[in-house]
């Protein structure tokens, strides 16, 4: 049988094969050396799988030029610089009962090829013959300033409860403690702090002595040194280059290291080379409890700050927010000593360079109102106001996640991606989709991410002097005006008061507002007496021409249950009018009791709601509620009335006179 298509030189079928299947006969093409889509390549040089894996990773190259550090004018070699860095870390981990720190070496002990078999101690002192223990025979492996990708690997490999969510964020668990433990926070009372800090009634500073601190420090350091590896972060606080603080965080968990990588300011490779000795050190041994029989201890949790030693020790809690807020407290002490005001506030800046500060307790709308797509975000929580202007203390944001919805908070939603830490959230087992409404672990679910994850963040996070200082209150009593212009004394009074009102739980179907006061809108973190911060705020506002405003984002037309909450659209119009300067040009009148200056008209806002009395159908009920709130303000302020600023009490009296008058 003649073959079909042989003349084309491609192939032919031979139907006479025993199987009955056609036989394919291939013919050579014109150029037998031409191969279509040749994806073959030179074989790898590796002789073993280990060698092949070693080719996968290359040493990181610095992204900024390396500047050789000099000591006494002599150039330091890379080897010597590394040695000095390890000496510094070893010194940080030194126990009080040993002359030297542990033998430290960089690198993960799991990567045996990178671990030297024999290495001399990095210290220059001879190892003492006394107090020899097994810890003196081992190396403590230092995982130093790891990248987010490396920390993900560490967390997923070694920390139970660490997972990658569908958005790429790292979900972690903080253990039994899912929030701060303010009653377990202690500050050493000594000659450094005796006269400086605010002690006693109303103060967040619970005292301890240095001996107890050193006992807890020893316990934390010994625990960390007993581990095969610890994480070390060297980072900065405060974007103002003239006043930044170098911090070192030593921790046992990759989750804690990634959290602080996000929340502090990340040094460039060049800055890291010149980092040297830190200004403040955190020892986070949160997995290990304190000894409850130790003096001053009331539980197995203790967060201790020693301002003289510039150290903080964490025992018995793995909640990462303790590190963030502990450092904020330290800045509340260090910055005012430099005549810099530390502030628990949000901060944004307009296109024309006009800066606004936002103060407010939880639920007042601070995050919502300070996040404005028409303005640059300088920071969401912690700031400094110096002679140069404002600066963010942090390098990241720590956002609440409960009931997070993309439509309402698109910036936060989109920031929850690779590199972000998600604390205590619940997710679907298969898809890893997070359910932000689920409170199974805690209602205090959080996301920690670098500030550059917010599209309109201003990098570097600094700005000129503020033009407006906005104090936010969610008044569930419904008697504070939607907006009031404050004079300096009133600004100080309401700043010290730090008022908002929460809705109490249901009892027999009745819900009543509960007044909440937090000095300087962050009483848990301040170190000095509130009037000192208030005086600094007034001085800076006066010097730089800033205006104070009290904005009520709560109820109108009655208290909670009878009135209604002021529409967010109206509050945004008010904030926009503050930013633009339009509200300064309005006509004002004074209210009863609180003596607040309120505008008579504002474009885009119904005139009748600007004065709360107009919206209440029962005028007597309004007056009674107004007097009730005034009484709560007075009672709260009693704790501050006996404190003198400077040599006399004139300023205190002036502030007091700016409060409710009836």
Q: What is the 3-state secondary structure (H, E, C) of 393-459?
A: CCCEEEEECCCCCCCCCHHHHHHCCCCCEEECCEECCCCCCEECCCCCCCCCCEEEEEHHHCCCECC
Task: State the residue for tokens 């009290």.
Answer: 550
Handedness of CA 578, 581, 586, 590 (dihedral sign): positive
Among 380, 376, 378, 374, smallest CA distance to 397 is for 380
Cα 139 to Cα 90, 114, 230, distances in angstroms: 11, 13, 11
- Separation between Cα atoms, residue 363 and residue 487, nearest integer Å: 25
**Which residues are within 8 A (CB) of 364 and not within 5 positions of it... i.e. 6 or more apart?**
472, 473, 474, 500, 553
- Separation between Cα atoms, residue 225 and residue 135, nearest integer Å: 7
- Separation between Cα atoms, residue 198 and residue 429, nearest integer Å: 48
Judge contact between 371 and 377, C-beta under 8 A.
yes
Active site residues: 180, 325, 344, 362, 366-367, 381, 446
- Separation between Cα atoms, residue 469 and residue 578, nearest integer Å: 10
Judge contact between 23 and 14, C-beta under 8 A.
yes
Among 597, 377, 625, smallest CA distance to 501 is for 625
Cα end-to-end distance, the chain, whole Å: 119
Cα 624 to Cα 552, 565, 612, 629, distances in angstroms: 19, 20, 13, 9
Task: State the residue for tokens 């033998």.
Answer: 103
- Separation between Cα atoms, residue 398 and residue 401, nearest integer Å: 9
Structure tokens at 210: 């240095």
Looking at residue 178, the DSSP 8-state letter turns out to be: -
Query: In this structure, are strands 74-75 and 185-188 parallel, antiparallel, or unpaired?
Result: unpaired
Structure tokens at 626: 């107004």
- Separation between Cα atoms, residue 460 and residue 191, nearest integer Å: 37
């Amino acid at each position: 049988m003649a073959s079909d298509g042989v003349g084309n030189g491609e192939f032919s079928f031979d139907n006479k094969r025993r199987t009955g299947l056609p036989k394919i006969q291939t013919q050579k093409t014109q150029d037998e050396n031409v191969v279509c889509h040749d994806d073959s390549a030179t074989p790898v040089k590796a002789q073993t799988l280990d060698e092949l894996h070693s080719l996968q990773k290359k040493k990181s190259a610095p992204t900024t030029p390396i500047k050789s550090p000099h000591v006494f004018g002599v150039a330091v070699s890379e080897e010597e610089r590394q040695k000095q860095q390890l000496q510094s870390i070893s010194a940080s981990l030194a126990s009080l009962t040993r002359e030297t720190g542990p033998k430290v070496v960089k690198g993960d002990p799991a990567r045996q090829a990178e671990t030297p078999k024999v290495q001399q101690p990095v210290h220059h002192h001879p190892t003492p013959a006394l107090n020899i223990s097994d810890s003196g025979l081992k190396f403590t492996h230092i995982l130093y300033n790891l990248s987010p990708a490396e920390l993900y690997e560490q967390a997923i490999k070694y920390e139970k409860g660490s997972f990658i969510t569908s958005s790429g964020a790292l979900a972690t668990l903080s253990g039994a403690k899912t929030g701060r433990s303010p009653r377990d926070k202690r500050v050493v009372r000594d000659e450094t702090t005796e006269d400086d800090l605010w002690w006693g009634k109303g103060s967040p500073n619970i005292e301890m002595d240095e001996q107890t601190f050193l006992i807890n420090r020893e316990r934390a350091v010994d625990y960390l040194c007993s581990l095969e590896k610890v994480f070390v972060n060297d980072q900065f606080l405060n974007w103002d280059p003239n006043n930044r603080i170098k911090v070192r965080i030593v921790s046992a968990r990759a989750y804690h290291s990634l959290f602080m990588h996000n929340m502090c300011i990340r040094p460039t490779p060049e800055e890291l080379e010149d980092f040297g000795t830190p200004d403040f050190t955190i020892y986070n041994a949160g997995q290990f409890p304190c000894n409850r029989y130790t003096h001053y201890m009331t539980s197995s949790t203790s967060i201790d700050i020693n301002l003289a030693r510039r150290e903080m020790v964490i025992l018995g809690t793995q909640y990462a927010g303790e590190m963030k807020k502990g450092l904020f407290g330290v800045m509340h002490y260090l910055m005012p000593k430099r005549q810099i005001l530390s502030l628990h506030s949000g901060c944004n800046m307009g296109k024309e360079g006009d800066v606004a500060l936002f103060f407010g307790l939880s639920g007042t709308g601070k995050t919502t109102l300070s996040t404005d797509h028409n303005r640059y975000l300088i920071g969401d929580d912690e700031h400094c106001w110096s002679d140069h202007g404002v600066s963010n203390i942090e390098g990241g944001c720590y956002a609440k996640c409960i009931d997070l919805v993309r439509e309402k908070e698109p910036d936060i939603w989109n920031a929850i991606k690779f590199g972000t830490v998600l604390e205590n959230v619940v997710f679907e087992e298969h898809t890893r989709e997070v359910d932000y409404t689920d409170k199974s672990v805690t209602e205090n679910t959080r996301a920690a991410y670098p500030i550059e994850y917010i599209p309109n963040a201003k990098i570097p996070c600094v700005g000129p002097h503020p033009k407006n200082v906005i104090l936010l209150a969610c008044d569930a009593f419904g008697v504070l005006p939607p907006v009031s212009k404050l004079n300096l004394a009133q600004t100080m009074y309401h700043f010290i008061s730090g008022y908002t009102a929460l809705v109490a739980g249901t009892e027999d179907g009745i819900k009543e507002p509960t007044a909440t006061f937090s000095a300087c809108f962050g009483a848990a973190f301040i170190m000095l007496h509130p009037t000192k911060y208030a005086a600094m705020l007034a001085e800076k506002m006066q010097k730089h021409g800033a205006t104070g405003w009290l904005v009520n984002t709560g109820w109108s037309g009655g208290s909670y249950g009878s009135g209604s909450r002021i529409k967010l659209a109206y509050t945004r119009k008010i904030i926009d009018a503050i930013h633009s300067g339009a509200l300064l040009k309005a006509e004002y009148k004074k209210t009863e009791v609180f003596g607040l200056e309120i505008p008579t008209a504002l474009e885009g806002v119904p005139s009748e709601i600007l004065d709360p009395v107009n919206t209440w159908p029962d005028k007597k009920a309004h007056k009674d509620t107004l007097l009730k709130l005034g009484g709560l303000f007075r009672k709260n302020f009693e704790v501050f009335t006996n404190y003198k600023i400077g040599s006399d009490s004139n300023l205190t009296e002036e502030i007091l006179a700016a409060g409710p008058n009836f």
